[in-house]
Structure 1
Amino acid sequence: MNTTSTAGRPDRTGPRPPAARARWAWLTLGTAAHLLAVGGRWDVAAAAWIFPVLLLRFARTGRVWSGALWLWLANTAAAVGWLVESALFSPFVLAGAVGLAALLTLPYLLDRLLVGRVRPWAALLVFPASVAAAEFLITLLSPFGTAYGSQAATQVDVLPLLQLVSVTGSYGIGFLLAWCATAVNALWEAASWRAARRTVVTCASVVLAVVLAGGARLAFCPPDGPTVRIAAVTADAALIRAQKAAYARATGGRADLVAHPPPGLRPAQRAVLDSLLAATRREAAAGAKIVVWPEQGVRVLAADESATIAAARAAARSSRVYLEVGLGVQTAQPPAYGRNEALLVDPGGTVRWTYQKAHPIPGSETFVPGDGRVPTAATPYGRLANVICYDADFPGMMRVPADIMLVPSHDWAEYGRAHTRKAALRAVEAGYALVRPDAEGVTAAFDDQGRVLASTDYFTTDRQATVAYVPVHGTTTVYDRIGDGFAWLCLAAVGALLAAGATAGRRPAAPTRSAG
């Protein structure tokens, strides 16, 4: 209620809004922290816990729609920052980033609209359920998968916390981060510790329980049993550079490349193939039972494809290894002008599968995608499975009955390390070991709990071979059994909260302490 002072001015007895300078400070600091929590090469795990607190504070203390616009700009700045640090900038990808930023702004808007209209216990769920639902919708509706927008990617080095994804998928971590932001804001808004104590203690207890359970899983249930020696190899870097130079001499279009290859292209391609075959024989002689080449480790013209596969089969047969061949085939047929595929050859020289990449990189790759059916093969070293590079950013296709997942990849200097680190999420979710050879990035092998078994940076290592002793038996996870049940539950919760908010009257707002 307003009263009138002796000077005739209205005297507001209710809580004063925060000073404008404080609100802009929260927005600025929150955006800066968000730039360090985007799933890129400059991530700081702690920043992912900080930025939602500050941006949620900004959202709750100003006008609804102008605040949402500023938060959209903040999320866009973070998305563009990720594009820049990952060297992914293009008009198509930029448009996609702006769209994803809008989707990631919705949880703040829903929180601002619904918190005062639903019961207090339900208000605590609005922001975390909306964050998890938004991350899930990105994987369902956008061509980017979990490449951007998943906060779990910022926590891949925090192994006790990472174990949560074996139950909830990556969305559980986003939920937990957002719930903590809600609890901190409840404390920030409360008139006393007593008013927010239950909310804060409950949230802190759940986070502690998740971390302790994850730590116990790491300590008491490590992968046990036999291992297999796997070698991931690339061609000599000098030969790869020579092949690139040969491609650069092409003067026509992609169809002309096949009909009239530039001088020196075929010899350069053959030199790369010979280097990989030699590396395969070397690693087999050293004890490797499985050898993996990177994505498009060998690039050939369509006319040379059969001879290339025959050479790989002969190498697998003579060395008695399982050989995963990454093959890029150039054809004259538009619009793809080629295929991006991987073949598994067994020690008898038999091709066990030919898999075509299902998810081209948006705005970059033009080949016709495969059907997305992940192949598996039973071997003496467990069930092997295979996807290619960007396919692993789509959790739905990665839930397959396997013990070892092979992910031949081809990144670049600015993105290789971050992209490989994200692959650990799929290993923990699905309960298999994962081997990811990267032609121009970071090659790594992970066990089913996300531990790094071996790692090699292409740009800092002379000899391009990574050897890991990989468990041959995976495990069955809760996520493997229930799939995206947690994410669907969060999506349903958002719908229920929207319905409740639409039918309820405005509840009294919680007291807000002055920032002035």
Structure 2
Amino acid sequence: MKSNSLTKDFLLLLAGFTGMIGFGLNWHMAIAAWLTPLFLLAFIRSTKVWGFLLFFLSSVVAGSISRTCFVMNGMLSEHIANGLFFGVGYTVPYLIDRLLYRKQRGFYTTLIFPAAFVAIEYLVALILGTWGSVAHTQYNLLPFMQIISVTGLFGLTFLVSWFGAVINWVFENREHQVVIRRGMWIYAIVFLLVFLFGDIRLSFFSPQAETVKVAAITGDTDIQKVMKDESETFQQYKKQGNFDIPDRIFSNNQHIENMLDRTRQATNAGAKIIAWNEISLILNRHQVESLLSQVKSIALARKVYILTAFLEQSSPSSAKPFNNKSVLIQPDGQVGWEYLKSALHPTAEAPIINPGNFRIPTVITQYGRLGNVICYDMEFPRFIRQAGKQNVDIMLVPSFDWPGITPLHAEMASFEAIQNGFSLLRPNGQGLSAAFDYQGRVLAQMNTLTTDSKIMYADLPIKSATTISPVVGDLLVFLSVLYLFFILGTTVSKRRKKTKI
């Protein structure tokens, strides 16, 4: 019997381990996200301390294997850090479930695991963004994705993780047919309502407003190559802060002229809103002044909106040598906004780039209200929620990825479009440039890694959709945490009563 039990536990852990790899950042299999908790909950609820330690080790290894795409420099320490972070983050919800869940209790106990999962994902998102969210595995399942317009991203995480908890509860209570049928019907009805809501929203509330032609322009600057070639210089910046930048780091005249020529080409093709990719150029202070003067001339002559994006040399009084910046030039030749990237990569950007103020700039135009953030900013739902509250119609998101996170990173951005009701233009310096409507449909895409083309065109709706998510904010997270404390309180209370008896 003991041998059979160990075999069963081993198979459950093996299936869960395979699943953890399957829905990691490298492969992102939707079905794996649904099935993995089914196996791991069965394992965790029946194992001892040694089993939990083995589960944690498996999570670390799975995290290392499934997140190699997130490693920028190929260092062993990065692989280990990825594995440890995933191992800790993914293990905690199972630990909470193991401590609070009791068999042969009501259907309401199936909510423990998804509530814990939502709480942990939320905490991770506050620190490092939504990278690795279970919800992102459901990309392309548009009917299910629509629920996040109501609940936010974590609503989809809740639904997916709830499935494994329900199936385990059904198996544990299989002798009580009437009870389990009631529980199965509850989950089935919720599942069906989510699907129907999404299907109805897609079918009857799709974008009907007129559109505007937009263009995403890709530059010639490869910031990752620059940082690699100038690794010693950038290491000095990290240690010493702001000091003189050698001229060889700045973009040459040909790269600048190429961006201007592509901008003119886009205007000739009829684009009314043009956005450059993140760090399309690296500029000193004099180059910035000269570039913006030329862009203003193009915008004024062609009556278009141009969002430039570049890495600029900061002022001598700044703490760090660079600003990751975007500047909107309006059809009258005036500056609509200047924006600094707010969410900086903790190791690659934060040591050398001055952060922004986490305020989304907007401007009202004849093509709706435009807004702007840069790349990694989009991984912070509480920040991007500003766009939903301000009724931004079109969000411009200059970005720069790398092969390992292509097309994943662009796909992740579409979830924020659905949550907040805006259409999205995401020009990419190295990866997938894409345009999405506010329901997550791909309107255009261009992989800059596999094509020589430098301009992507799309027609974006100029009217946003009103969504509930920006209004209710973190309500689901709050309710999840409140529920966990309620279960903790009832569990402690019952144990005290048993102790007294």
Normalising by structure 2, report the TM-score: 0.90
Q: Is the 8 A contact 1:446 1:454 kept in 2?
A: yes
Q: Name the structure 2 match of 1:210.
A: 194
How do 1:341-420 and structure 2 match up within 5 A? 341-365=325-349, 366=351, 367-399=353-385, 400=387, 401=390, 402-420=392-410
Q: Name the structure 2 match of 1:220.
A: 204
- Deviation, 1:277, is 0.9
Higher relative contact order (CA 8 A, sep 6+): 1
Deviations 1:119-140 (A, max 9, x none): 5233121111111111111122
Q: Which runs of 5+ in 2 are unaligned?
A: none
How do 1:89-238 and structure 2 match up within 5 A? 91=77, 94-95=80-81, 98-116=84-102, 119-140=105-126, 142=127, 144-148=128-132, 150-192=133-175, 194=177, 195-235=179-219
Q: Is the 8 A contact 2:299 2:329 kept in 1?
A: yes
1:249–1:131 distance in 2 versus 1, CA, 3 Å? closer
- Deviation, 1:41, is 4.1
- Deviation, 1:190, is 3.0
1:461–1:259 distance in 2 versus 1, CA, 3 Å? closer
Root mean square deviation of aligned Cα? 2.7
- Deviation, 1:193, is 7.0
How do 1:35-74 and structure 2 match up within 5 A? 35-38=21-24, 40-63=25-48, 65-74=49-58
1:79 counterpart = 2:69? no
Cα distance between partner residues in 2 of 1:302 and 1:394? 30
Deviations 1:77-123 (A, max 9, x none): 33323431333466478546524532332221122221228952331
Cα distance between partner residues in 1 of 2:174 and 2:115? 26
Cα distance between partner residues in 2 of 1:19 and 1:247? 52
1:113–1:260 distance in 2 versus 1, CA, 3 Å? closer
Q: Is the 8 A contact 1:116 1:506 kept in 2?
A: no
Q: Which of 404, 412, 436 lines up with 2:426 in the alignment?
A: 436
Q: Name the structure 2 match of 1:320.
A: 303
- Deviation, 1:250, is 9.0
Cα distance between partner residues in 1 of 2:94 and 2:335? 51
Q: Which of 275, 278, 288 lines up with 1:292 in the alignment?
A: 275
How do 1:328-339 and structure 2 match up within 5 A? 328-331=311-314, 336-339=320-323
Range moving further from structure 2, 116-125 or 152-161: 116-125
Q: Is the 8 A contact 2:300 2:331 kept in 1?
A: yes
Range moving further from structure 2, 297-306 or 41-50: 297-306
* SS across alignment from 2:306: strand
Q: Supply the AA of the counterpart residue of 1:59.
A: I
* SS across alignment from 1:186: helix
Q: Supply the AA of the counterpart residue of 1:62.
A: T
How do 1:449-464 and structure 2 match up within 5 A? 449-464=439-454
* SS across alignment from 1:46: helix
* SS across alignment from 1:19: helix
Cα distance between partner residues in 2 of 1:426 and 1:463? 27
Cα distance between partner residues in 2 of 1:443 and 1:260? 31
1:490–1:179 distance in 2 versus 1, CA, 3 Å? same
Q: Is the 8 A contact 1:87 1:415 kept in 2?
A: no
Q: Supply the AA of the counterpart residue of 1:30.
A: G
Cα distance between partner residues in 1 of 2:299 and 2:484? 53
Q: Which of 442, 458, 461 lines up with 1:468 in the alignment?
A: 458
Cα distance between partner residues in 2 of 1:305 and 1:406? 20
1:421–1:106 distance in 2 versus 1, CA, 3 Å? same
Deviations 1:301-322 (A, max 9, x none): 2332211222222222222210
Q: Which of 275, 287, 294 lines up with 1:304 in the alignment?
A: 287
Cα distance between partner residues in 2 of 1:469 and 1:435? 10
Question: Percent of counterpart pairs with the same letter?
Answer: 32
1:244–1:34 distance in 2 versus 1, CA, 3 Å? closer
- Deviation, 1:390, is 0.2
Q: Supply the AA of the counterpart residue of 1:133.
A: A
Q: Supply the AA of the counterpart residue of 2:229.
A: A
Cα distance between partner residues in 1 of 2:257 and 2:449? 21
Q: Supply the AA of the counterpart residue of 1:322.
A: Y
Q: Which runs of 5+ in 1 are unaligned?
A: 1-14, 509-516
Larger C-alpha radius of gyration, 1 or 2? 1
Q: Name the structure 1 match of 2:17.
A: 31
Range moving further from structure 2, 247-256 or 151-160: 247-256
